[in-house]
Chain A
């Protein structure tokens, strides 16, 4: 690291999210004073047990939910201050999403699903065409572009979803349990693709996951527990196997995966 110049993509300061205060019910602090920086080209995993605040965190940085206090800066722009329809535009142009259940539109072919964000931004046809070609080659879905979501496998669907997330060259890709609905082979293929995109395209990816194996593909892992940052580790020069063991150890301490199995 440090070979190329790093720039800040995401900067979170004193982020708090409190639920239930509006109607005077029991207050519940989902996120408590979170401070975090993500540099350009990082592949970050967010891990934590159920109820730790992972999903709230993802919702806040993906502009779907508003924080109670604190600021979320993406490329220097405070997204907590954005309003519709700028918010939709921001979401479409600066962020890419990959969901556990793919969220592809079954009325559209994979190709149409992938180009949708660009088409909505009224990008020229030529640009759309080249970008589509580029991204689908990288994700290995060139041959199935004209198929409908119900005609392809889960892994292929998720790669198409990844292509849709990446095609706008967003500041950051947010992936919410992307391997959650995939078998292990498809999971590996998808993670390889994401790793590749991160490495070759310098795409910034934030991955929220339960799965230590998926997390081991990342360069840095942030653990959240009870709404607070608990720990973070870097992969550094470690092999993936060693990194995986590291992750498991920490999960044992905070009660991640194993907890959920009970």
Chain B
């Protein structure tokens, strides 16, 4: 038998352990090829038009996938080598040299990697057009997609997977060369010796809870007003999650094992002992899975949340359908243009006359220019936009402060005094309320004070004409058919009048969030297949190591249903813990995310977690089936 035929038969024999690894690698190659081909696709570039810079998203995503695949292949390979050491030792005992064993492993790796690579590329070629069309649907682009073979992406994938192949070959050769025959034989034996729980574990367990709790608290209470603390929050939650798995769960298992009264009850004794014995070897895997799942879930919720809320978001950011700085006969141009578009009619028109004033910024203390608007106009505009904002200033000194904040208004300004500097007179005002609900497009807006009508006209009388600033806004009957009208309007209105439209914002938003969701979808699937396959592989390994235990159990009268029950509970805990922790992390993250985006994303959160859980459960069930099959044969 040659080494090659031996390698082939080995792969065939072990395929039940490797298929999950194979699927995941195939999927990474596929996703990478697809993304690289999108980056290099001329049709897509054309579709994106002036949003071409969004391609950077795909580039970032491609590098993320590359990095994750590299990590995943390395990690899986270490497992595989570890589980096969005994097999290698047997070959060597039968007279194979170390060199031949290394070559055998090299051939096997070559076949698997080349196999995964080719099937990934094949899928990429076959489904390339389909997925680009899906992308078009998501970004509402209309256009033809031609079948293209992207040599650039082929090159990129080959380089990446070629490098990975070389690295894992070197790594496995080192692993095989380093150990003596006896070490190879004993490698699976020295595995786990049960949990070690000490006082320190308790302390670390408490630290993990404190770290998670404080991270959650900061995320919910403070993150939305101060984005700068995000790295601290992330760090706290990641450390908390890892420590939670290393110590807190160990502690729980330990307590369960020591509480005889609860332990000596049916199959609990079997799976708790099994967990107690096996958990230590799984801590690393489980915490990595919890963290990566959290990242994947948060990313997906962010992307899909934005994607689903594009319209809401555009309405927030552009309350008017069309808006421009009044001047240069803009009103005439507008009226002339709309005449040519019978499909468009005006529902509401408003011109706001702002006054530019200087004042000390109540938030930062710097001297800035602010806008000033009268109360009645402000309320009128808001009522037409159905924004729900209505202010009621009790006396002349009162004012409402419209602030431009990132995510949530800073309420500390309420009660502060402001001194408005007009041309020859100062006005002392007191902020009685504040808000950040946009009443006009933000792009050109400045923080604005809303004052009583009388004060407004007083100030207006004192300032020069160039310190006035008129903005006209329209609400149209149907924004979604306004594409042509807006195109014409854009060509007519001079750029200095800053034409801003809801439709443009909405269209660009769709492109951005559509692409993000598309990427999120792939990364989500990649993470599920990768994490699922890692647990699947680990459990298959444990099942074959634990075969003897189950033979003993059956001999002393444990029935097959009882064994199935014990195993399914054990796996449920190992699979479930990372998912539950990740879901809680994501739920917490969704609160500030929702606040920052300005809308409720609970629905997206629930749907995404459910879909993720369902796909993840498929891996659970397949692992369970394979485990039971291994220990029953």
Residues of A within 8 A of B (CB): 64, 84-85, 87-93, 95, 97, 99, 103-108, 112, 115-120, 122, 125, 128-129, 148, 164
Contacts and interface: CB of A to CB of B under 8 A. Distances in A.
Q: Chain B, interface size: which category?
A: 20 to 34
A1 to B, nearest CB: 31
Interface in B212-266: 260-261, 263-266
Contacts of A107: 194, 273-274, 276-278, 549
B266 A122 contact: yes
A120 B562 contact: yes
Contacts of B544: none
Given A88-B562, A103-B552, A103-B556, A120 B267 contact: yes
Contacts of A120: 266-267, 269, 557-558, 562
A88 B559 CA distance: 5
B561 A97 contact: no
B274 to A, nearest CB: 6
A89 B557 contact: yes
B12 interface: no
A92 B561 CA distance: 14
B264 A125 contact: yes
B560 interface: yes
A115 B269 contact: yes
B126 interface: no
Nearest to B277: A107
9 contacts: A87-B559, A88-B557, A88-B559, A92-B557, A97-B556, A103-B552, A116-B269, A125-B260, A125-B264
B559 A89 contact: yes
B202 interface: no
A117 B276 contact: no
A92 B556 CA distance: 6
A235 to B, nearest CB: 30
Q: Residue among B194, B264, B558 with the most chain A CB within 10 A? A: B264
B557 A117 contact: yes
Contacts of B266: 119-120, 122
Contacts of A95: 557
B141 to A, nearest CB: 58
Interface string B527-561: 00000000000000000000001001111111111
Contacts of B276: 107
Contacts of A88: 554, 557-560, 562
Contacts of A87: 559
A30 B561 CA distance: 32
A64 B551 CA distance: 12
Contacts of B554: 88
A118 B557 contact: no
Nearest to A86: B559
A144 to B, nearest CB: 16
Interface string B552-582: 1111111111100000000000000000000
Nearest to A102: B552
B351 to A, nearest CB: 80
Given A90-B557, A112-B269, 20 more contacts: A84-B559, A88-B554, A88-B558, A88-B560, A88-B562, A89-B559, A93-B557, A105-B549, A105-B552, A105-B553, A107-B273, A107-B549, A108-B269, A117-B557, A119-B263, A119-B266, A120-B267, A125-B264, A125-B265, A129-B260
B559 to A, nearest CB: 3
Contacts of A125: 260-261, 264-265
B327 to A, nearest CB: 82
A128 to B, nearest CB: 5
Interface in B559-616: 559-562
10 interchain residue pairs of minimum CB distance: A92-B557, A88-B559, A91-B557, A107-B277, A85-B559, A119-B264, A103-B552, A119-B269, A107-B273, A108-B273
Contact of B558 (A92, A93, A103, A108): A92
A119 B262 CA distance: 10
A111 B264 CA distance: 10
A37 B496 CA distance: 110
Contacts of A164: 556
Nearest to B269: A119
B35 to A, nearest CB: 45
Given A122-B266, A125-B261, A116 B555 contact: no
A10 B557 CA distance: 19
Nearest to A108: B273
Contact of B556 (A90, A112, A117): A117
B100 to A, nearest CB: 35
Contacts of A115: 264, 269
A87 B556 CA distance: 11
Nearest to A64: B555
Interface in B177-201: 194
Contacts of B557: 88-93, 95, 117, 120
Contacts of B552: 103-105
Contacts of A105: 273, 549, 552-553
B520 to A, nearest CB: 41
Contact of B555 (A90, A97, A122): A97
Contacts of A103: 552, 555-556
Nearest to A103: B552
Contacts of A91: 556-557
A93 B267 CA distance: 16
Contacts of A128: 264
A107 B275 CA distance: 9
B559 A122 contact: no
B156 to A, nearest CB: 47
A164 B277 CA distance: 21
Contacts of B561: 85
A89 B557 CA distance: 6
A84 B557 CA distance: 10
A67 to B, nearest CB: 19
A77 to B, nearest CB: 15
A99 B277 CA distance: 24
Q: Residue among B194, B270, B278, B561 with the most chain A CB within 10 A? A: B270
Nearest to B562: A120
Contact of B265 (A89, A122, A129): A122
Contacts of A104: 552
B556 A116 contact: yes
A119 B277 CA distance: 19
A148 B194 contact: yes
A103 B553 CA distance: 9
Contacts of B267: 120
Q: Residue among B266, B277, B549, B559 with the most chain A CB within 10 A? A: B559
Nearest to B546: A107
Given A99-B555, A122-B265, A84 B273 contact: no
B438 to A, nearest CB: 62
Contacts of A118: 264
B610 to A, nearest CB: 35
A17 B132 CA distance: 68
A22 B268 CA distance: 40
Contacts of A148: 194
A108 B274 CA distance: 8
Contacts of A112: 263, 269, 273
Nearest to A111: B260
A118 B266 CA distance: 8
A125 B620 CA distance: 33
Nearest to A101: B552
A108 B268 CA distance: 12
A251 to B, nearest CB: 29
Q: Residue among A88, A117, A148 with the most chain B CB within 10 A? A: A88
Contacts of B274: 107
